[in-house]
Amino acid sequence: MKIKEVFSYRHLQHDWVPQLIACIKEVPEDIFFEEDGSPLKGEVKKLDKLLSERLITKFGKGVKRNFRTMAPENQFEIDIVLPTKPMTLIEIEKGKLPRLELDIMKILGSIWRFPEKYGFGCIIVPANYIKLKLAGNRSPYQYVTDHLIPLNRPVLDFKNEKGCFLLKDFIVIGYVDPRGERMESNPGKKSKYLVCAEMGLVDDSVWEGPLDNYPTKLIRLIRKQLKEKVPGLTEKFNTNSRYFGYSTGKDRAYIYVQKDRLRIDLDISRDFEANLKEEGFEVHFINNFQGKDGWLTGWRVPHTTSIERVMKWLLKAFNEDE
């Protein structure tokens, strides 16, 4: 995941903030998409879990998830609690209809109730993609920093009897939702993220940026061999969904680049699923457009797979006689 904005209410530096940001960046963007590469239309449910797992590696087992900070008085849960001193309460927004006001009040209410235990607040929100109509079409990040933070300033600046702020600081982190504006786009239009070669392969500069943090050794070898072995090959690449498409007058194959593997859809009979499984591959059929058209879909290929094992099957899609 990419980070676009970071805001500190008290304009302070904290050791835990760069560590948190580093963990967010480690979360793969694949979780924002379905298996067929289409963007999720609802909440990204895996985000909390994957982020908390990475936070445990940096902050230890004191990291808590879905924690009730004010039990038994109420049943509100905080997404993640970091074992800083005092503790940091984190809320993560990953849906189309975020409840930003409630999230902020849960954090502030917990700190107000237990000021010796909790002291830092943090909310992680999209800095793009979602436009809140009731907030003047601003992104969640803009809405929090421009509207909700100023609105809650009396609570944010409340001091105890010693003249110290109950809230040590409130951090807002704006991440880039990789789905962009695709969910709002007209499905009949050609995707603005799709780059097509007139003949042969697209230029490396088209895909190297979007795949900067992805293993690319295997896909480089695949592209090289397809160019050498398939006459009349045309390649396209979607810079948002990170897939390569190949055709020779008609579509033959799609290769989706994911963090831990390639996911390949081939224009060959589904009968070959059994053969692939006998060779040790996983195949999980996907009922996408290609699947409905009789393709073999959902072939999972680890990045460590030898090029020979991949090309044996990939080339079948370009040989109509097989």
- DSSP secondary structure, 165-214, as one string: BSS-EEEEEEEE-TTTTGGGS-TTSPPTTEEE-SSBPPPHHHHHTTTTTS
pTM of the model: 0.58
- Does residue 180 share a domain with residue 310? no
Res 12: pLDDT: 85
3-class DSSP state for residue 217?
Answer: helix
User: Which residue's entry shows tokens 């995707």?
Assistant: 191
pLDDT tops 70 at residue 182: no
- Does residue 309 share a domain with residue 205? yes
pLDDT band at 134 (very low <50, low <70, confident <90, very high): very low
- Does residue 110 share a domain with residue 199? no
- Does residue 228 share a domain with residue 140? no
- Does residue 17 share a domain with residue 139? yes
- Does residue 161 share a domain with residue 265? no
pLDDT tops 70 at residue 127: yes
Give the type of residue at 71. A
More confident residue, 303 or 131: 303
Nearest 5°: CA angle at 219, between 218 and 221?
Answer: 65
Domain contains 71:
yes
Please give the order of strands across the beta sheet that includes 2-8. 2-8, 169-176, 118-126, 87-92, 78-82, 64-67
Domain contains 98:
yes
Res 44: pLDDT: 83
207: number of Cβ within 10 Å: 25
Number of domains in the chain: 2
pLDDT band at 98 (very low <50, low <70, confident <90, very high): low
Q: What does the block give as tokens for 20? A: 């948190």
Res 170: pLDDT: 93
211-231: average pLDDT? 94
- 26-30, 53-57, 82-86, 171-175, range with the lowest pLDDT: 26-30
Domain contains 78:
yes
Res 69: pLDDT: 83
Res 183: pLDDT: 43
- Report the CATH number at residue 238: 3.90.1150.200
Res 228: pLDDT: 94
Domain boundary residue among 163, 184, 205? 184
- Does residue 219 share a domain with residue 148? no
235-260: average pLDDT? 92
Tally of CA atoms within 13 A in the half-sphere of 263 that contains its CB: 19
pLDDT band at 169 (very low <50, low <70, confident <90, very high): very high
Q: What does the block give as tokens for 38? A: 């289409």
Domain contains 27:
yes
Domain contains 169:
yes
Q: Which runs of consecutive H residues, i.e. helices, occur in 31-152?
A: 46-59, 100-113, 140-143, 149-151
pLDDT tops 80 at residue 260: yes
276 φ, ψ (degrees, to nearest 5): -65, -40
H/E element, 308: helix 307-314
- Does residue 232 share a domain with residue 114? no
Domain boundary residue among 184, 202, 232? 184
Domain contains 129:
yes
Q: Are 7 and 145 in contact (CB under 8 A)?
A: yes
What is each CA distance from 166 to 115, 132, 156, 160, 291, in whole angstroms?
A: 6, 30, 8, 6, 57
- Does residue 117 share a domain with residue 95? yes
- Does residue 154 share a domain with residue 32? yes
pLDDT tops 50 at residue 187: no
Residues 103, 77: Cα–Cα separation, whole Å = 10
pLDDT tops 60 at residue 137: no
Domain boundary residue among 184, 203, 223? 184
Res 41: pLDDT: 73
Domain that holds residue 275: 194-318
Enter the DSSP assignment of 148.
Answer: I
- Does residue 274 share a domain with residue 198? yes
Strands (E), the chain: 2-8, 64-67, 78-82, 87-92, 118-126, 169-176, 194-196, 234-238, 243-247, 251-257, 261-266, 282-283, 296-302
pLDDT tops 50 at residue 181: no
- Does residue 131 share a domain with residue 31? yes
More confident residue, 268 or 142: 268
Residues 157, 160: Cα–Cα separation, whole Å = 10
Domain contains 189:
no
Residues 313, 217: Cα–Cα separation, whole Å = 18
197: number of Cβ within 10 Å: 14
Q: Are 260 and 218 in contact (CB under 8 A)?
A: no
pLDDT tops 60 at residue 133: no
Reported as a single tens digit per residue, the pLDDT across 3-61 is: 888 999 998 889 999 999 999 999 888 888 877 677 777 778 889 899 999 999 999 99
Compute the mean pLDDT over every residue in the chain, rounded to the nearest whole number: 86
139-156: average pLDDT? 86
- Report the CATH number at residue 110: 3.40.91.20
pLDDT band at 140 (very low <50, low <70, confident <90, very high): confident
3-class DSSP state for residue 280?
Answer: coil
148-153: average pLDDT? 88
Domain contains 11:
yes
pLDDT tops 90 at residue 249: no
